[in-house]
Copies of this chain bind each other. A is one copy, B any other.
Amino acid sequence: MPTTPDQKLWTRTRQAVHAEVARTAMELFLSRGFEATTIDDIAAAAGISRRSFFRYFGTKEDIVLGDLAAQGELIRKELEARPADEDAWTALLNALRDAPRLGQDDATMLKISKMLYETPSLRARSIEKHLQWQALLTPEIRRRLGVAPDDEDDLRADAIVACMLACLDIAGEAWTRSNGSRSLEELVLSAVAAVRPSAPDPRRS
């Protein structure tokens, strides 16, 4: 019956509780707001003790943003798998486009996204996660550009990754402002087009 076959019972129950707490908490957040929901509320609703909550989530923000860390890893994997003849920008764009999405359907994502832009502490944490993505993706872009991993003087890879993520960010913000009516991918492309050096023979794939 278990989705993930034979694992220690501990591991399975732990994952189940984790998911259940996250689900309960997100319901509370979306109904009464992130800041108005206390950890005690969540723990009570999920039927665990306050102390145990902190054994599953380091902070309240992690409930909302926990997936982002994993998502970064998925993007890195996707980026590594891009063909070697794609330039840095194209590879990044394709990796972002093709990386499997974690999380909910679009309608829920929009609600979460709105909450994120309205809540300073969430916004701050989400940008911290973007910094983690940057640290994750930069080595791969360095490799692609033929820059040594420890070359402190060459900022080209860092700049490209940072700008790509900045474009992703403003595109996400625009997507949220448009209530999800516009295509995120097109928004990202239009943002990148404004800064990307005249594309050197881009592959259309």
Residues of A within 8 A of B (CB): 120, 123-125, 127-128, 131, 152-153, 155-160, 162-163, 165-167, 169-171, 174, 177-178, 182, 187, 190-198
Contact = CB atoms under 8 A, between A and B. Distances in A.
Contact of A191 (B158, B190, B195, B197): B158
A178 B152 CA distance: 8
A123 B177 CA distance: 26
B174 A167 contact: no
A168 to B, nearest CB: 10
A170 B192 CA distance: 18
Quick one: copies of this chain in the complex? 2
B195 A159 contact: yes
A32 to B, nearest CB: 24
A174 B155 CA distance: 8
Given A162-B167, A163-B166, A166-B162, A191 B155 contact: yes
A128 B182 CA distance: 26
Contacts of A125: 124
Nearest to A187: B155
A162 B155 contact: no
Contacts of A153: 182
Nearest to A199: B197
Contacts of A170: 155, 158-159, 162
A91 B66 CA distance: 39
